[in-house]
Structure 1
Amino acid sequence: MAYVALYRAYRPKAFDEVAGQKVIIRTLQNALMHDKIQHAYLFSGPRGTGKTSIAKIFAKAVNCLSPVHGSPCNSCDVCKGIDRGDIPDVIEIDAASNNGVDEIRELRDKVKYMPSVGKFKVYIIDEVHMLTPGAFNALLKTLEEPPKHVIFILATTEVHKIPPTILSRCQRFDFKNIEIRDMVEKLDEIVKKEQISITKDAIIAIAENAEGGLRDAISLLDQAISYAEEEITEEDVHQVSGSVSKKALTDILLAIIHKEISKAIVILKDLLADGKEISRIVTDLILALRDILLEKTIEVDIPKYKDIVNIFPIEKVYFYLDVLNKCQQDMKWTHQKRAYVELALIKMMEHQNLKQIDFEATILDLKQSIQELKEVNKNQPVVAQQTTLEPLVTVKDVQKILNNGDKDKKQTLISGWSYLKNYPKDHLKMAAYLLYQGELEAVSDYMLVVYDDINICKQMYDPEVVEQVLEIINNKNKLIKGYYAILKSDWLVIKEIYSDLYIKKGQKKPKLPPHDFKLYKDLIKEEKESETISLAKDYFGDKVKIKE
């Protein structure tokens, strides 16, 4: 016997076998039970969501000899005959190939004949939006006043193409994309009956790739069965569908969040070498970020990125989505799609907006950590303690450098900055490299150096590093007395305020408002070792000192 495709073998024959569309099914069953059957229905929605299947089940239900709660019994001669296609009272018409006026006129002539076996003649017109304007006009009068024994079910994926005159004469049902959990449930049922060896992750991957269409999901399962050697794995599904695996998406997202440009580009290159389409990679990245956003904001049924979701600030996710969405639009008008994607990846790691996002995320983390410390303290015995935070750099320090800037001295230092990368003196190599990673922004008697990483800022205040940096800078001439290191996100805020005061408001020696640079010496006295101290250590590191 010839092989029957799974989507045909498992086409639902009763309402309770249909996945999803619960509201539509309930409405139709109630109409059948209470004998409130309309003469014309319009089923609209995406492909593979059950429009034709439900139309056929409805056609059986209205003609069934022994209906059960508004559903066909599937055991009487009429139900069996309709399933076999032997009963001429259920007529399926493909409007894509029978879309002319002549075909509809022929249909209009035949509707007046009584059904041969059942109670109703049911016309199922699939892809009805393909009818010509003349054909719609020919159908209009019949829809308006059909014989009592005739029911029309019009199915379409493009309801906007249906004339309003037709829409107004039909009871309309809008089919929705089938939820992943409903598809997973249906696929589980199929693989058990067919005794197919497949992993749970593979079933979920099939459901996700189907994008709401159950027929597509079952067809993809059929394809995966032919492709896989033994057990169907998630990777098999990604190979067959052309989608990007969760592991590859996780790797590329981690490379982006950690600003590992080379690694991200290499992963992209490997995916393309593996046959993935560049546009599909961008789409799957967008969907992965969508999943991360959902997992951060609501409780989802099947979390996919729970291991990495906490390292992605919401604002960064929004920024990444904006970049990828713009890239997706730009790719429509170019043949250099790969170049656009590579540029988008770099932008997601190096764009100026990321500095402000990182700054805001740091503030949020600090507030959260302080709140956690407060919560822990509520449950701790009260101990005598005195905590003071002495800033390593103040806004007055920065203000003094900016107001007494020496452009010539700054140019002299910048001209030799690249020399720091491979400094020749071994005992000064580390300090020189730390200094090289910063950007020199202003010089007076002191230097102002900015960094992307707060940990490097802290290292620059280590007394030994300070001594070595001064030895490097003042090697030939005594140029500076010292320096201050701050975060670039803080510098951008200070720079904008200073420029506004100096240029727009004309202040020759601008006075900057208070600003917290988040760089402190931590002095903690007479505090008992407790869980609070442990949390403080986790957050502030070695700066925490405990004195008995």
Structure 2
Amino acid sequence: MSYVALYRTYRPKTFSDVYGQSIIVKTLQNALLYEKFAHAYLFSGPRGTGKTSVAKIVAKTLNCRTAPTKEPCGKCDICLGIDKGDVPDIIEIDAASNNGVDEIRDLRDKVKYAPSVGKYKVYIIDEVHMLTQAAFNALLKTLEEPPKNVVFILATTEAHKVPATILSRCQRFDFKNIEIKDIEENLKVIVNKENLKISDEALYAIANTAEGGMRDALSLLDQVISFTNDEITEEDVYKVSGGLSRRFINELLVVIYKKQPQKALDFINQVIADGKDINRMVSDIILALRDVLLDKIRKKVIYPDLKELQSNLIYAYLDILNDLQQELKYTTSKRAYLELAIIKMINHETVALVEFEEKLISLEKELSNLQEQIKNKEFPQANTKVQQPTIENTTQQSNLKPLVTITEIEDILNNGDKDKKDLIASGWSRLSDYDNPSLKTTAQLLFEGSLEAVGNDQMLLVYDDLITAKTMFKPEVKKQVLKIINSKQKLIKDYTVLIKPDWLVIRLDYANQYRSGIEKPVLKPMDLHLYDTTVKETKQNKKRSEIVDFAIEYFGEELVKVEE
């Protein structure tokens, strides 16, 4: 006897064999038991979810010798005949190959004849959306008023293509994708009956790869059985299906997260050499990132090695991969686009920004905890009182003039002008591509900063690094910045600059005071790390000049040599 595929061998023969469609099954069972079934049904839904199988079970239950019943007995001559396909009252029509008006007219002529064996003639029209408009018109009248002992069951994967006139004459049941757990449960039953050795991970991989289709799951299981004679593993499933194993995706995402581009590209080269489909690879990585997100809220963790991957970074990865999916539809250089996407995930400015924001959030949390500890007096008190260093005494020690003072920042914040700030901020994005060539470099510097406040005709800028912040204090840069900001109307007279860590401390202090009811908070003195080093250099040069003059006077000019 020739081998019969698993999806045919284990095709549901009763309602109890149907997985994942409990609501539809219960509704149909009650209708059949109490003889309240309709003359026409429309079964719609994805492939492999049981539409045709349920249609045959309905036909069998209608004609079973024990009817009315919720389940066909499976033992009478009609049930056995339907299973074998020998009962002429059950007519299956493939609308994909019999979609013309002549076939439907032939059906309409024969439908008036009484059933020859059972109580009802049941017409099962598969892929009904493939019928032509003329064929639908020919079917319409018969479907509306069929003979007493005739039931139509229409099955389709694309219900939106069925005319509304047909839909309105049918009871519609929408079959859903079968849940992974239901597919796994059915696979376990079949594996036990077939005496197969298969790991739980492999069962999950088959159920997950099937994407809600029981028939696809059984076909894949059949294929994997042919591939290996030993115990079926997760790796075997992914080798046959062309997908990526969880182990591989885990290792790939780890090297991406750790910013190891060469290792990531080696991984990609390996799977492409194995003949994996690039579109499928991208889809698998996206699904894996979804699982990493879900791992943060569920007990059973699928990717424990990626638990440190922050949600914002995952969203940045997903944005890059979603863009890649769209680009792959219109290019023949799929490998190049995939490699570029991997490099973007490692080095792209969006990812870098997310990582920077995460560091800032972490810093803000630490500052908040520090404030709370100070508030709750959790730090031990020393015997001697330690004076908080101020900008004034720091300046005295270093003999440097501060470029910005805490009083200046306090004045800007306490006299904030939100409307003016919003007006300046509205044109901030245009600074990155400023149209005046002579001001383009300064505009780019300005764009790199963050506009945090505007008050008393002065704006406050914040920069990430000390060098750029100090550059913004140069007179020639200030002159150009004011020219850019006031190009259309005079908005500010001056500006000052802070570095990001200092601004975070100041903002937290100001916010805490403001929330406590202080309308004009007084900021605590602190070192803002920005000084005018030219003062120190001038004094050093002056001192050196006095020494040189004394040496020339004492030893003579011909004997004095000055070296830097």
Fold conserved (TM > 0.5)? yes
Question: 1:369-407: CA deviations, max 9, x gaps?
Answer: 789999999xx997846899999xxxx999949xxxxxx
Say which SS state the counterpart of residue 118 (structure 1) adopts.
coil
Residue 516 (structure 1) aligned with residue 497 (structure 2):
no
Question: 1:226-272: CA deviations, max 9, x gaps?
Answer: 00131111111111000011111111111111111111111101110
Q: Determine the structure 1 residue equivalent to 2:16.
A: 16
Flag the 1:370–1:31 CA change in 2: closer, same or farther, 3 A.
farther
Identify which of 468, 473, 485 aligns with 1:504: 485
Q: Determine the structure 1 residue equivalent to 2:35.
A: 35
The CA distance in 1 between the partners of 2:255 and 2:125, in whole Å, is 51
Say which SS state the counterpart of residue 42 (structure 1) adopts.
strand
Q: Determine the structure 2 residue equivalent to 1:453.
A: none
Say which SS state the counterpart of residue 511 (structure 1) adopts.
strand
For structure 2, the residue ranges without an aligned partner over 5 or more in a row are: 405-440, 442-447, 449-462, 473-477, 506-564
Maintained 8 Å contact 1:122/1:150? yes
For structure 1, the residue ranges without an aligned partner over 5 or more in a row are: 402-441, 443-449, 451-485, 521-548
Equivalent residue letter for 2:121: K
TM-score by length of 2: 0.69
The CA distance in 2 between the partners of 1:398 and 1:242, in whole Å, is 67
Q: Determine the structure 2 residue equivalent to 1:257.
A: 257
Q: CA deviation at 1:147?
A: 0.9
Q: CA deviation at 1:487?
A: 5.9
Q: CA deviation at 1:68?
A: 8.1
Maintained 8 Å contact 1:399/1:512? no
Maintained 8 Å contact 2:373/2:379? no
Q: CA deviation at 1:355?
A: 2.8
Maintained 8 Å contact 1:355/1:488? no
Residue 122 (structure 1) aligned with residue 122 (structure 2):
yes
Maintained 8 Å contact 2:464/2:500? no
Q: CA deviation at 1:100?
A: 1.1
Q: Determine the structure 1 residue equivalent to 2:512.
A: none
Say which SS state the counterpart of residue 495 (structure 2) adopts.
coil
Residue 299 (structure 1) aligned with residue 298 (structure 2):
yes
The CA distance in 2 between the partners of 1:388 and 1:152, in whole Å, is 91
The CA distance in 2 between the partners of 1:373 and 1:511, in whole Å, is 27
Say which SS state the counterpart of residue 124 (structure 1) adopts.
strand
The CA distance in 2 between the partners of 1:332 and 1:316, in whole Å, is 25
Q: CA deviation at 1:133?
A: 1.2
Q: CA deviation at 1:289?
A: 1.2
Residue 354 (structure 1) aligned with residue 351 (structure 2):
yes
Flag the 1:515–1:35 CA change in 2: closer, same or farther, 3 A.
same
Residue 194 (structure 1) aligned with residue 194 (structure 2):
yes
The CA distance in 2 between the partners of 1:241 and 1:6, in whole Å, is 17
Maintained 8 Å contact 2:20/2:182? yes
The CA distance in 2 between the partners of 1:489 and 1:135, in whole Å, is 77
Q: CA deviation at 1:353?
A: 1.9
Q: Determine the structure 2 residue equivalent to 1:322.
A: 319
Compare CA radii of gyration and give the structure with the larger one: 2
Equivalent residue letter for 2:55: A
Q: Percent identity?
A: 54
The CA distance in 2 between the partners of 1:25 and 1:268, in whole Å, is 45
Q: CA deviation at 1:208?
A: 1.0
Q: Determine the structure 2 residue equivalent to 1:411.
A: none
Q: Determine the structure 1 residue equivalent to 2:2.
A: 2
Total equivalences in the alignment: 428
Q: CA deviation at 1:514?
A: 7.7
Say which SS state the counterpart of residue 113 (structure 1) adopts.
coil
The CA distance in 1 between the partners of 2:251 and 2:322, in whole Å, is 20
The CA distance in 1 between the partners of 2:258 and 2:169, in whole Å, is 58
Residue 104 (structure 1) aligned with residue 85 (structure 2):
no
Residue 289 (structure 1) aligned with residue 289 (structure 2):
yes
Flag the 1:66–1:355 CA change in 2: closer, same or farther, 3 A.
same
Equivalent residue letter for 2:298: E
Q: CA deviation at 1:69?
A: 5.5
The CA distance in 1 between the partners of 2:94 and 2:466, in whole Å, is 62
Q: CA deviation at 1:218?
A: 0.3
Q: CA deviation at 1:87?
A: 1.3
Q: CA deviation at 1:368?
A: 6.1
Q: CA deviation at 1:139?
A: 0.5
The CA distance in 2 between the partners of 1:337 and 1:141, in whole Å, is 51
Residue 181 (structure 1) aligned with residue 181 (structure 2):
yes
Q: CA RMSD in A?
A: 3.7
